[in-house]
Structure 1
Amino acid sequence: MDMNRVKQIVSSPADIPVYYNGVSVWIDGYDEENQMATVHLRDGRLNERRDVPVAELEEKGEAAH
């Protein structure tokens, strides 16, 4: 995924499936300068936020890189 798509997803009212290492996540925010996104698991564990490289995020149905 690229940073422009991350920004679109964060600002979208739609529920857009995003995955990190095959696990469904929510994008909480992003750091454009470092090309990182802050995510947490969709199962509700907000305390397990982590910063991950934007390039490693995938949308459902998106071809793997």
Structure 2
Amino acid sequence: MELNRAKQILSSSADIEVKYNGVSVWIDQLNEDGKTATVHLRGPNKFEERSYAEISELKEE
């Protein structure tokens, strides 16, 4: 995924599915380096499982 598209998804009110390594995630924030994002797994009680992902490795479904 490109940085601009990640920004659009993050600011959108729509439910846009994004996958990281084949797993559905939410984008929490884009990091200042412009190359990584903080994400967490989608689903109930998944907010604690945050991780960093390369934006280029995020895939819009």
The CA RMSD measured in Å over matched residues stands at 1.1
SS in 1 for 2:9: helix
Distance 2:52 2:58 in 1: 11
Normalising by the residue count of structure 1, what TM-score does the alignment of the two structures yield?
0.86
Count of aligned positions: 60
Normalising by the residue count of structure 2, what TM-score does the alignment of the two structures yield?
0.91
Deviation (angstroms), 1:5: 0.6
Instruction: Report if aligned partners of 1:18, 1:58 keep a CA contact under 8 Å in 2.
Output: yes
Deviation (angstroms), 1:24: 0.4
For structure 1, the 5+ residue unaligned runs are 61-65
